[in-house]
Amino acid sequence: MSCSLSLKNYGILNSSNYCQLSPDELQNIVIQNEMGIETKSGVLAIKTGFFTGRSPEDRFIVKDSITENTIWWDEKFNQSFDAKKFDNLYQKVVNYLSGKTLYVRDGYLCSDPRYQLNIRSISEYPWSDLFIHNLFFRIPKIRKILPDWLLLCAPGFQANPVTDGTRKKNFSILNFLKKIVLIGGSGYTGEIKKSIFSVLNFILPTYKNVFPMHCSANVGIRQKDTALFFGLSGTGKTTISNDENRKLIGDDEHGWTRDNIVFNFEGGCYAKILGISKEKEPMIYQSIKKGAMLENVVFKKKTQEVDYFNDSITQNIRISYPIYFVKNIEKKLLSSNIRNIFFLTYDAFGVLPPIAKLNKAQSAYYFLLGYTSKVAGTELNIKKPQATFSSCFGAPFMPLHPVQYTNMLIEKLDKTEINVWMVNTGLISGGDSLGGSRIKLKDTRKLVESAIDGYLSKAPYEKDPIFNFKIPKYCPGISSEILNPKRTWKDKKMYQIQVKNLVKKFIKHFDRYRKYTDEKITFGEPQIR
């Protein structure tokens, strides 16, 4: 049903506007316009076009009186954008959208009402609007909000890099002075999600003293203990935090308040589902139902049944769904009593242990570096795991200096009694080039469960001579052979070479931050002996 809302004040003229459409209405429009297919189980499946992953090098921030001296300007991620060129590009986008059928939605972010951010989105495609419905908190029809920010999503518009100031034809631009997110040239819905995440990662620490985190979170049913899981896409945040024995707070983005409340930024989940099965990931699997949206999946031949093991389009096949699709959620989507933090790392070298306990300095050091490996498909042109460093486990969407976020973590650890663990969800028994195998999901789940239950805090440890973190010698249900990665390597000399190579990478990467840090971080650095 169309609405009478005028978009003239945004510069959009003569458009036909649909406001706050339901998932069923949007799904019908997508199918009628041949923009998607309904699967055998009634779920909408769409293809995002050329872009099947984020393009972080095409994310820009307008340099103005708010951002000039606060953003950590970085050539790779936090690239500056000229204010006048933004105005010109904005005008081109609204001219492009004028006269079109558009989809308008008012929603909000942050489950803690003290930090609620209201968003009005205007989308060119109906399935972009469905994604926003699923991921943002939904506004009841009887309630009206005044939008704090505007999100314009125009996948069909392509910029001219020469005249518009972009790197390529696609772009995602944040304007903090005008409170506008401008997205064009890419249909990948993750650009919407991460642009808004970047906005909150600036606003919350700068104005609200809230520590923003790229992590999932869950809470124990009996003890009400909260666990946080940091990590980049593909390392297991969504999978591991979806635990049938605990209640989910959220799968990707959270804030940690000054009074030690952890709250979800989002009203939905965006899960990577390549190879998903009911047995391995039951909570996500049961969320594949009407109202959700599948991206870039392939159907079994001559059927409308999805082949979740087919990565011929991309390894980054995904599903978005409202968080209430998950049966055992924490209803308020917030919690206190933070007891355990897990840094999830995909180690492509196969030298980090499946789990290790970190002291405070090590926690700060590894959080600042955010070592992992880029997993195939999550970003454009990533075909196999590549060792990388992503500060705070989310560099592409952290606008402030990484040490600023790290100091917020240190402050939290200094004031609370929290166990911090590094968990390698990647390779053991050798690295990617040496035939290493990925640690089994059931083993990772068991190790995390044992850490949360307190067993690993009481277990005997051995100290790694180079990394200096503590490795448990025993865990019930887990072969002791895999707890220390050295024992899984046949060639012990090659293992030592790989360890030293990785440590050298740590030290080299940390050098860019060294002048901004003190012993609260530097004492966590590994030492080559």
pLDDT class for 244, splitting at 50, 70, 90? Answer: confident
Cα 392 from Cα 228, distance rounded (Å): 13
Say if residue 213's pLDDT is above 60.
yes
For residue 2, the cross-strand partners are: 18
For residue 422, the cross-strand partners are: 343, 356
Question: How many whole angstroms from its chain centre is CA 446?
Answer: 23
Structure tokens, 384: 């196999």
Runs of H (alpha helix) within 13-139: 23-32, 83-97, 126-135
The pairing of strands 59-62 and 79-81 is parallel
Span 303-322, pLDDT tens digits: 999 999 999 999 899 999 99
Say if residue 375's pLDDT is above 80.
no
3-state SS class at 239: helix
The catalytic residues are: 54, 194, 214, 233, 237-238, 252, 318
Given a contact cutoff of 8 angstroms between Cβ atoms, the answer to whether 459 and 480 are in contact is no
Say if residue 406's pLDDT is above 80.
yes
| 125 contact partners, CB below 8 Å, separation of at least 6 | 35, 103, 153, 155, 156, 187
Cα 333 from Cα 145, distance rounded (Å): 21
Say if residue 261's pLDDT is above 90.
yes
pLDDT class for 377, splitting at 50, 70, 90? Answer: low
Given a contact cutoff of 8 angstroms between Cβ atoms, the answer to whether 217 and 344 are in contact is no
For residue 439, the one-letter residue type is: I
- Tell me the mean pLDDT in the region 71-98: 95
Distances (CA, A) of 55 to 63, 196, 281: 20, 15, 28
Span 439-455, pLDDT tens digits: 999 999 999 999 999 99
pLDDT of residue 280: 85
Cα 367 from Cα 365, distance rounded (Å): 5
- Tell me the mean pLDDT in the region 36-47: 96
Domains of the chain listed by start with CATH number? 8-33+54-208 (3.40.449.10), 211-268+332-522 (3.90.228.20), 271-325 (2.170.8.10)
Given a contact cutoff of 8 angstroms between Cβ atoms, the answer to whether 216 and 326 are in contact is no
Q: What phi and psi values does residue 250 have, to the nearest 5 degrees?
A: 180, 160
Given a contact cutoff of 8 angstroms between Cβ atoms, the answer to whether 467 and 527 are in contact is no
Say what the pTM is.
Answer: 0.93
Cα 478 from Cα 449, distance rounded (Å): 12
Cα 216 from Cα 236, distance rounded (Å): 9
The pairing of strands 101-109 and 137-138 is antiparallel
pLDDT class for 1, splitting at 50, 70, 90? Answer: low
Q: Which is higher by pLDDT, 348 or 345?
A: 345
Nearest of 382, 274, 266 to residue 334 by alpha carbon: 266
Q: Is the dihedral of CA 394, 423, 382, 505 positive or negative?
A: positive
As to burial, measured by CB atoms within 10 angstroms (0-12 exposed, 13-18 middle, 19+ buried), residue 516 is: middle
Q: What phi and psi values does residue 420 have, to the nearest 5 degrees?
A: -120, 130
- Tell me the mean pLDDT in the region 408-430: 91
pLDDT class for 434, splitting at 50, 70, 90? Answer: low
